[in-house]
Chains A and B, each alone.
Chain A
Amino acid sequence: MKLLLSLFAITFYSGFTISEENSINVVANIQGSSIQLSRQQVRNLFMGGTLPYDLTAIALPPQNQTRVLFNTKVVGLTESRIQSYWAQMRFSGRKTPPTELSSETLVMKYLQNHPGTIAYLPGDAEIPIGLTVLFTTIN
């Protein structure tokens, strides 16, 4: 029983040891201006919502590890629920999902070349020149 408990404790504890490796930075090409977004604003932006700031969300494809982290920590939904949500939004003419690019490297390049775009990146990725962090998950 003790062994079981300590095993449980280890599993539980390890679930909460978050390093930079599994945090998320939300970065944008906003050309020098400084804004901070709340988690809720980031969530809504990537779920097809609008913001007072004119930002266009760029996403990574399903199964991408950074996307899985972003879903869990920021959106708070499983990938399958997110896919159901987009089906509902598309076929009722309400919202369309963000453009998806296949890798983090492509996302960074795209952001650098397109002012007004915003995307999520892994916490340990170096932020390219010209991009600003608008939100970061708390470690």
Chain B
Amino acid sequence: MNRSQHNKKHAIIQILKTTSMSLISSYFILLLSMSAVSAETDDKLQLSGFARVVLGYLDESNATYLGYDNSLSLDQQSLIGLQADYQILDKLSVTGQFVARTGDDKDSELEWLYLTYTPTKSFKFKLGRQRTPIFNYSEIVDVGFAYPWVSLPQQVYRTFLFPTYEGLHVQYEYIGREILLGLETYAGGIERNFTANGQVLDTDIDNLRGVVGTIGYEGWNFRASYHRGHADVNQPELNAFRDQLQQLGFTQSAETIKTAGVGRFYQISAFYEDVDYFFRTEVIQLEADLSLAPKTKGFFVSGGVNFYPLSVYASFSKDINRYDKPSSEIPIGLIPQLDALAFGYQQIFSQSNDNNTRSYTLGLRWDWKSNLAFKTEATLLEESNALQGLFTTRDVNNFDGQAMLYQVAMEWVF
């Protein structure tokens, strides 16, 4: 057993001693067996992983958010991910990553399964199932250890349209004397169930493609990207209703019900960090020709100070969501059948209220070991109309659109 493995086990034993929570213990027993496995493998196979235990409490009895309500909850964002990398040939490897999640509406999935071909040190080709690199942290939303927050700024990171794809990703990197340039592009598609606002949607995504450019200079990193894909959300009832409207001659109304269409993402970000400070901002825009997806503009700004091994940070994020308006083509008050039709039509748009949302976060991260961190954060969540936007559910008669969320997390990589 070498020193790092010894240290790893020593750390695990210490943690087991200091906590008695059964859930956490079972996580660590699993992890312990993982590190025992990794000790036996040779150079060609590398096993690694990440785990997070997140405790959350929403100080509000009239709404829920990310599965949290006004009781302490451990099983909304806690998860464990395992990754295996196998070097097949000198320039060819295969990687698989499985993530087991605890949240009710979150699937446990094989998130990554791809071949990597590295013909030169500057080029990398990845073929297979991958996370879509839409925003800075899109590929690693599950790896809490990799970012300062407990929950990523939701105004940017909750957009659900194209989380994964199956296809080809090409990456090129150039290091100049002073700057680092990166260029990547990908293309693919996927048919998969996605969960949005507690609803499971069977979605067929094709013709998904994007381009990402990055520039690194000193402590700065700039990223700009564009992504585009066609999404077909299987909603048979909605399609049947649209056909009925079409047959009755209400073509305008029928056209406003869109279960398939093109989605476009625009992203730009600037990150700065040095030994003492960090600053991050990311701005996004989403346009989708789908009834259930609003046109969204969102951003976050975040800054922090390092007092190694502690860092404190503050974040503000905001988004503006605008939906297509329903048509008023169907006459009301003539005959009951038409009234029923008009009512049914309006019902579809009942969850299409324009809204703005904001989050204000203060947090602290403590890097206890080089692979183990604790975080805590408090977030004030606000949605403008108290009907739709940020919260998953709300009691519309009593909710004022504001709530405090408190979270504590333990993040581990191994």
Residues of A within 8 A of B (CB): 38, 40-41, 44-45, 49-52, 54, 61-63, 71-72, 76-81, 83-85, 87-88, 90-94, 100, 102
CB distance A76 to B175 under 8 Å? no
Q: Which residues of A contact B218 (CB under 8 A)?
A: 40, 76
A51 vs chain B, min Cβ distance (A): 6
> Nearest A residue to B171 by beta-carbon distance?
A94
A77 to B175, CA, bound (A): 19
Q: Which residues of B contact A62 (CB under 8 A)?
A: 370
CB distance B275 to A72 under 8 Å? yes
Q: Apart from A76-B275, A78-B311, what are 8 other A-B pairs with CB-CB below 8 Å?
A: A38-B177, A54-B121, A71-B275, A76-B218, A80-B373, A84-B145, A87-B146, A88-B139
When the two chains form the complex, which single residue of A50, A71, A91 contacts B121, counting CB atoms closer than 8 Å?
A50
B148 vs chain A, min Cβ distance (A): 8
CB distance A44 to B140 under 8 Å? no
CB distance A44 to B114 under 8 Å? no
When the two chains form the complex, which single residue of B4, B50, B278, B371 contacts A91, counting CB atoms closer than 8 Å?
B50
* Pairs of residues from A and B, 6 with the lowest C-beta to C-beta distance, nearest first: A80-B367, A50-B121, A92-B139, A88-B146, A62-B370, A87-B146
> Nearest A residue to B413 by beta-carbon distance?
A87
Interface size on B, residues (CB 8 A): 53
A72 vs chain B, min Cβ distance (A): 6
> Nearest B residue to A37 by beta-carbon distance?
B177
A54 to B95, CA, bound (A): 25
B130 proximal to A (CB < 8 A) = yes
A39 vs chain B, min Cβ distance (A): 9
**A88-B146, A91-B83, A93-B114 known; A102+B121 contact, CB < 8 A:** no
B70 proximal to A (CB < 8 A) = no
> B81-140: which have CB < 8 Å to A?
81, 83, 95, 97, 112, 114, 116, 121-122, 124, 126, 130-131, 133, 137, 139-140
> Nearest B residue to A48 by beta-carbon distance?
B173
When the two chains form the complex, which single residue of A76, A78, A88 contacts B308, counting CB atoms closer than 8 Å?
A78
A44 to B216, CA, bound (A): 9
A118 vs chain B, min Cβ distance (A): 14
CB distance B146 to A51 under 8 Å? no
> Nearest A residue to B184 by beta-carbon distance?
A94
CB distance B370 to A49 under 8 Å? no
**A50-B122, A78-B308 known; A87+B273 contact, CB < 8 A:** no
B160 proximal to A (CB < 8 A) = no
Binary contact track B245-277/A, C-beta < 8 Å → 1, others 0? 000000000000000000000000000011100
B3 proximal to A (CB < 8 A) = yes
A92 to B81, CA, bound (A): 12
